[in-house]
Structure 1
Amino acid sequence: MLEALHRYTLLESPTGDARALAALAAVLEADAARAGLHTAREPHPTGDHLIWSLPGRGVTGPPLLLLSHYDTVWATGTLTEMPWSVRGDVVRGPGVYDTKAGIAVLLAAVAALSEDQVPHPPVRVIVVADEEIGSPTAGDLVRAEAAQASAVLGLEPPHPGGALKTGRRGSTRARITVTGVEAHAALDPDAGVSAIDELVDQLVRVRSLVSDRPVLLNTGTIAGGGRTNVVAGRAHADLGLRFTDPADEEAVLGALRALEPVRPRARISTELLSHRPTWRPGPAGDALLERLRVIAAGIGQTLEGRPADGAADTNTTGALGRPTADGLAPWGGGAHARTEWVSSTGMSTRKELLTSILTSLV
């Protein structure tokens, strides 16, 4: 697994870089085929989603669905500043923790099933290409596969220490775009309508929408205008929103869609760049976690679970009411930070656990 993780890490795979993602996808598909999986793809211009399947052996019924992703937040060239290294139990490099180690563990567990010829249910695996920006092209695929699955297991990093994730905040990326009227800023300012001024006022409104709710709001980027002597004709802001309650999610997103201009000649539009619904713990997930605890105890491991703040594709499956648990990748730390690392011991432990789950969760 460590050798596989090394190869995957050296193939940098930032979201949206179709050429870099294709290079890693080819390696992953070859490894998946060697592990006994049938491979297919759903093509997209910004990166293909990988679809792998393993027929059941001695067990019939709906498949287990495993979710992972092979894109990372790191730009090509990051390896020069964050080189691959292994020191004791600590493995470092861009994407090792989130979540290339999870892919290595997944493939090792599936290979063990093939080698040992043990009974297991059918398995489906989706490895998404744009998870780090909210899976805007993968949502329909994930929903379709989840509808046919008996349970969904996410190969994202766990909580610190290894606890699974049994719920997630809703996560939405929204863009507010304002169209104004350009004019000379000194000779005829009243003929113009500043898109930037309108956007600033709208952002104040948006802040008030969440001020009395447990909603996280981050204005991540703002762009607009062109010259200081021209009234800005266009501006936009990208917002990141996190929700713990579906009712808050519905109310805030509805209010965003209903924004009206402050200035008579300004125009406003709001679009959702990506949307992952709030996944709250429920009976189906609780029952799955209890089954996973029993399986872990059978191999001498202790397993706990609790909700998480971050979002992933399991938001989609959990919100649909499908039995879902996430965080089955190895533990480590520093996700999206230059301190990113993963535990090599955790890789072995998680491989043993996942192999046991695949043979016992029927």
Structure 2
Amino acid sequence: MAEPTELLALSRTFGDPVLERWERLVSLETPSADADRTAVFGRELAAGLAATADRIEHPPGPGGDHLVAHWNGRGTPSPDDGAPPGHTLLVAHSDTVFPAGTAARRPFTLAEDGDTVTGPGVFDMKGSLVAVELAMDLLARTGAAPRRPVRMVVVNDEEIGSPDGSRLVARHAEGARAVLGLEPPLPGGALKIGRRGVARVLLSVRGVSAHAGLDAALGVSAIDELVDQLAALRATAASLPDAALNVGTVTGGTRANVVADHAEAEIGLRYATPETEQALLKAVLEPTPVRQRAHLSTRRLSHRPAWAMDPGNPLAAELVALAGTLDLELPLGSSGGAGDTNLTGALGIPTVDGLGPAGAGAHGEDEHASLSSLLERAALIAAFLQSH
């Protein structure tokens, strides 16, 4: 087994090849739901992981193939080994929020400081994929291996709520001892030990059309009903702790002189605890009409459960202690955004997220990340996998 300091020293010699690999992955654009580009990227990622992985799968999905990589490690620990059986699950995604062509306009660039890289997806989260490749390479080069089996799930639809990828995360979370999320860290490189949950719901209203001047009383305005429903939902959200509601889109009606017979709104919900989640979802999914002849229907478009922060997270404590042996600080915090680790955290599986390289500007023009941080994270991941 390699010493953690040995892994870190070795990792820091890989700056140039890491930059080359990082640039390659960023140049292969992966907008969510672009199956053709996802396929090209998946083949490239698989080629890089194949140097160390024992098996790679490409489960199909509506937006193209996802990727699941397996490492056998030294085998399932026995009771005599002092550890319970189970595998370690790494959770990642390949898609970005940027449309095709962004990389040509804003290509991967290394700043004059020799450390900061910019480009679409460098921080969220292609740098993380490079870090895992390097972590596994470090173990192989030092004659080490993961202590227990490792699986990495890379979904291609995380940025749109993992409508299909979440099933893969759930499947491979079964029997996992620990889950390491490879999303970008919080400011200062802090790991995430909790996440607010999110959901998107489409609220549709059917009313009765009528002439707005001559026969208004014969009609039922779907728009008026929708406005009243949204006002009631805002009041409910305001009464719940750590709840937020955002009306993202509103459509309805045909013309000003016709009582609207249809209207709908897409509503975004955020919540920090399971209790608030349950109350808020009930209010949105089970509305009561204000008008007798109005008909309401709802459809849940996506859902990620709340992962409540636990300051005593034992997996985080292990990582913080391990980072200390490398003279690296590893703060902890909770994220206002959601991700695939919401599911594993909510299920009670020991989970930590934010193991990607430090940086900032996710989803924006100023997205950037740190090369030195990537090298450190790769060493930390390798050290954890070989000892835990």
Q: What code does the residue aligned with 1:30 have? A: A
Q: Which moved more, 1:18-27 or 1:90-99?
A: 18-27
Distance in 2, matches of 1:227 and 1:17, equals: 37
Q: Is the 2:30–2:95 contact (alpha carbons within 8 Å) kept by the matching residues of 1?
A: yes
Distance in 2, matches of 1:247 and 1:107, equals: 39
Distance in 1, matches of 2:36 and 2:123, equals: 22
Corresponding residue for residue 331 of structure 1? 358
Structure 1 residues 58 and 245, CA gap change in structure 2 (3 angstroms): closer
- Which of residues 21, 31, 36 is equivalent to 1:19? 36
Q: Is the 1:168–1:280 contact (alpha carbons within 8 Å) kept by the matching residues of 2?
A: yes
Distance in 2, matches of 1:228 and 1:112, equals: 67
CA shift, 1:234, in A, is: 2.6
Structure 2 counterpart SS, 1:271: strand
- Which of residues 133, 156, 162 is equivalent to 1:107? 133
Which 5+ residue runs of structure 1 have no aligned equivalent? none
- Which of residues 103, 111, 122 is equivalent to 1:79? 103
Q: Which moved more, 1:84-93 or 1:297-306?
A: 297-306
CA shift, 1:107, in A, is: 1.4
Q: Which moved more, 1:62-71 or 1:286-295?
A: 286-295
- Please give the residue correspondences for 1:182-261 in structure 2 after superposition, counting only pairs within 5 Å: 182-185=209-212, 188-213=215-240, 214-261=242-289
CA deviations on 1:5-53 (whole Å, 9 max, x unpaired) are 2112112211122222222122112222133341112211223221111
Distance in 1, matches of 2:104 and 2:53, equals: 34
- 1:2 and 2:30 aligned: no
Structure 1 residues 93 and 263, CA gap change in structure 2 (3 angstroms): same
- 1:290 and 2:314 aligned: no
Distance in 2, matches of 1:119 and 1:9, equals: 28
Distance in 2, matches of 1:305 and 1:359, equals: 23
Structure 1 counterpart SS, 2:67: strand
- 1:360 and 2:387 aligned: yes
Q: Is the 1:57–1:118 contact (alpha carbons within 8 Å) kept by the matching residues of 2?
A: no
Distance in 1, matches of 2:37 and 2:209, equals: 40
Corresponding residue for residue 60 of structure 2? 43
- 1:178 and 2:195 aligned: no
Question: Please, what TM-score do these two structures have when normalized by structure 2?
Answer: 0.87
Distance in 2, matches of 1:222 and 1:114, equals: 54
Q: What code does the residue aligned with 1:248 have? A: T
CA deviations on 1:53-111 (whole Å, 9 max, x unpaired) are 11122553311000000111112222344332111322111111111111111111122
Corresponding residue for residue 316 of structure 1? 343
- 1:147 and 2:174 aligned: yes
- Please give the residue correspondences for 1:64-75 in structure 2 after superposition, counting only pairs within 5 Å: 64-75=88-99
CA deviations on 1:107-146 (whole Å, 9 max, x unpaired) are 1112222333313221000001111122121223212211
Structure 1 residues 83 and 231, CA gap change in structure 2 (3 angstroms): farther
CA shift, 1:191, in A, is: 4.3
CA shift, 1:356, in A, is: 0.8
CA shift, 1:232, in A, is: 3.3
CA shift, 1:290, in A, is: 1.2
Q: Is the 1:41–1:50 contact (alpha carbons within 8 Å) kept by the matching residues of 2?
A: yes
Structure 2 counterpart SS, 1:161: helix
Q: What code does the residue aligned with 1:83 have? A: P
Structure 2 counterpart SS, 1:241: strand
Distance in 2, matches of 1:95 and 1:37, equals: 27
Cα RMSD for the two superposed structures: 1.9
Structure 1 residues 224 and 5, CA gap change in structure 2 (3 angstroms): farther
Q: What code does the residue aligned with 1:92 have? A: T
Distance in 1, matches of 2:246 and 2:179, equals: 30
| Percentage of pairs with the same residue | 45
Which 5+ residue runs of structure 2 have no aligned equivalent? 1-17, 78-84
> Radius of gyration: which is bigger?
2
Distance in 2, matches of 1:224 and 1:53, equals: 49
Q: Is the 1:58–1:119 contact (alpha carbons within 8 Å) kept by the matching residues of 2?
A: no
- 1:62 and 2:79 aligned: no
Distance in 2, matches of 1:115 and 1:166, equals: 31
Question: Please, what TM-score do these two structures have when normalized by structure 1?
Answer: 0.93
Structure 1 counterpart SS, 2:239: coil
Structure 1 counterpart SS, 2:362: coil
Q: Is the 2:250–2:266 contact (alpha carbons within 8 Å) kept by the matching residues of 1?
A: yes
Distance in 2, matches of 1:139 and 1:250, equals: 20
Q: Is the 1:246–1:277 contact (alpha carbons within 8 Å) kept by the matching residues of 2?
A: yes
CA shift, 1:161, in A, is: 1.3
- Which of residues 187, 192, 202 is equivalent to 1:160? 187
> How many correspondences in the alignment?
360
Structure 1 residues 13 and 189, CA gap change in structure 2 (3 angstroms): farther
- 1:341 and 2:368 aligned: yes
Structure 1 counterpart SS, 2:30: coil
Corresponding residue for residue 28 of structure 1? 45
Structure 1 residues 117 and 191, CA gap change in structure 2 (3 angstroms): farther
Structure 1 residues 351 and 270, CA gap change in structure 2 (3 angstroms): same
Q: Which moved more, 1:124-133 or 1:141-150?
A: 141-150
Q: What code does the residue aligned with 1:250 have? A: Q
Q: What code does the residue aligned with 2:128 have? A: G
